[in-house]
Amino acid sequence: MSVDGRTCRSCGAPVEARFCSACGERWIPEQGEGLHQVVGTWLGDFLGTDGRIWRTMAAAVFRPGLLTDDYLRGRRQPWLRPLQLFVVCNVLYFLLQPFTSFNAFASTLQVQLEFQGYSESIRPTVDTWRAERSRELAAKGVEPELAEAMADELLNARFDRTFQGLSKAALILLVPLLALGVALVTPRAGPSFWLVFSLHYTAAVLLAVHLAWAFVTRLVLEALQLEQGPLRWVMTEGAALGISVLWAACALRRLRSYAWWRAVLSGLLLGVWFLIAMISYRYALFWWTWSVVT
């Protein structure tokens, strides 16, 4: 029985409490809400006053496979949905990444030209553009050396700014690429499993590797004053791969009841596939950025 004849404004069902028992809509009085109530609702939705956001992120990192298992079994109310979790982690990553030690998803033009497996294939295109801009500046009376420096500075600034912006929108492209790798190591699990697991895997990697571990390594690298070299690679990319493999192994053991050796092997294969997906992502993003910049 409804309270004071109240009915839900969304579905028309009688409302007996603060929320509609039929659709879950929150009851709003006829006179509306005050500013503090509106702002409080927004903050509650964003911060998750019921603890759902923080509980889900903790489970994503420290209980590998649990979120995927619960979601596929239909136990979904305690957690954020897979895509919601991915979006939250994506936003957190791009907000906090500048304070960490490395950025796997957005790199500068200099890094693209020197430290990627495809650097040799893109360098002629970049060199040609620089040469053309340098000649244009030289034709206007600029000294040749200064013209080259100006062309480099202009291109680097444009490219880095555009690449950083596009990477925020393009990160979702990693999920279907990763799902293909999940399909290879769990061929009988089915498309739903592949997609949901990929979203949770990517979210966990963003949280555990590219935020938490990156903060730790930044402190250590600054304390040791390490430059580029094998030790720095081990502490950043190498450790990131190791954490990703361990997470995937634990998750697959929970979800597929794999023996430890098979879970670790599958996790390693998935980690290697993730690296391949990352390279493909960066390569595609380079050409997308290049088409925008030039």
> Which spans in 186-238 are helix H?
191-204, 214-224, 230-233
Mean pLDDT of 146-173: 85
190: left (phi over 0), alpha (psi -120 to 50) or beta: left
Tens of pLDDT, residue by residue over 101-151, are: 566 677 788 888 887 888 899 999 998 988 888 888 888 887 878 888 888
Phi, psi of 189 (to 5 degrees): -75, -35
User: What residue ranges do the domains of the chain occupy?
Assistant: 52-110+163-289
Q: Dihedral of the CA atoms 225, 161, 290, 180 (nearest 10)?
A: 70
Tally of CB atoms within 10 A around 102: 18
Structure tokens at 187: 């061929």
Tens of pLDDT, residue by residue over 2-54, are: 446 677 777 877 777 777 777 767 767 766 666 766 676 666 666 554 578 88
